[in-house]
Amino acid sequence: MAIAPLPVATARDHVLSLAPSMGNRHGLVAGATGTGKTVTLRVLTEGFSRMGVPVFLADVKGDLSGLARAGADPRFAERAKTLGLEDWAPQGCPVTFWEVGGGRGHPVRTTVSEMGPLLLSRILNLNDVQSGLLTLVFRVADDAGLLLLDLKDLRAMLQHVSENARELQAKYGNVSAASVGAIQRSLLGLEEEGGDALFGEPALDVEDLMQTASDGRGVVNVLVADKLVQTPRTYATLLLWMMSELFERLPEVGDPEKPRLVFFFDEAHLLFTDAPKVLQEKIEQVVRLIRSKGVGVYFVTQNPLDLPDTVLGQLGNRVQHALRAFTPRDQKAVRAAAETFRANPDVDVETAITQLAVGEALVSLLDATGTPEPVSRAKVHPPRTQLPPLAAEDQQRTVRASLLYGHYEKAIDRESAYEQLRDRAAQAQPPLLPAGGDRSGGGWGSGETEARGGGGGRRRAAPQESSGMADAFSGLARNAARAAGTQLGREIMRGVLGSIFGGARRRR
Higher pLDDT: 133 or 480? It is 133
What is the number of other CB atoms lying within 10 angstroms of the CB of residue 88? 18
- Listed in order, strand segments (DSSP E) in 248-369 are 261-266, 295-301, 317-320, 360-364
- Give the separation between CA 199 and CA 191, rounded to whole angstroms: 10
- Give the separation between CA 77 and CA 88, rounded to whole angstroms: 8
- Res 433: pLDDT: 60
- Res 434: pLDDT: 59
- Res 138: pLDDT: 96
Ranges of H-type helices in 145-257: 151-163, 165-172, 177-192, 232-249
In this predicted model, what pLDDT tens digit does every residue of 259-295 receive, in sequence order?
999 999 999 988 888 887 878 888 888 899 999 999 9
389 pLDDT exceeds 80? yes
In this predicted model, what pLDDT tens digit does every residue of 187-206 receive, in sequence order?
999 998 888 899 999 999 99
Specify the amino acid at residue 50: R
Whether 223 and 105 have beta carbons less than 8 Å apart is answered as yes
437 pLDDT exceeds 60? no
Whether 6 and 259 have beta carbons less than 8 Å apart is answered as no
Whether 177 and 165 have beta carbons less than 8 Å apart is answered as yes
Q: What are phi and psi of 15, to 5 degrees?
A: -95, 135
**β-sheet with 27-30: strand ranges across:** 14-18, 6-11, 376-380, 360-364, 317-320, 27-30, 295-301, 261-266, 55-59, 220-224, 95-99, 106-107
- What does the mean pLDDT of the chain come to? 85
As a whole number, mean pLDDT of residues 56-68 equals 95
Higher pLDDT: 64 or 339? It is 64
- Res 252: pLDDT: 93
As a whole number, mean pLDDT of residues 317-335 equals 89
As a whole number, mean pLDDT of residues 27-32 equals 95
As a whole number, mean pLDDT of residues 492-501 equals 41
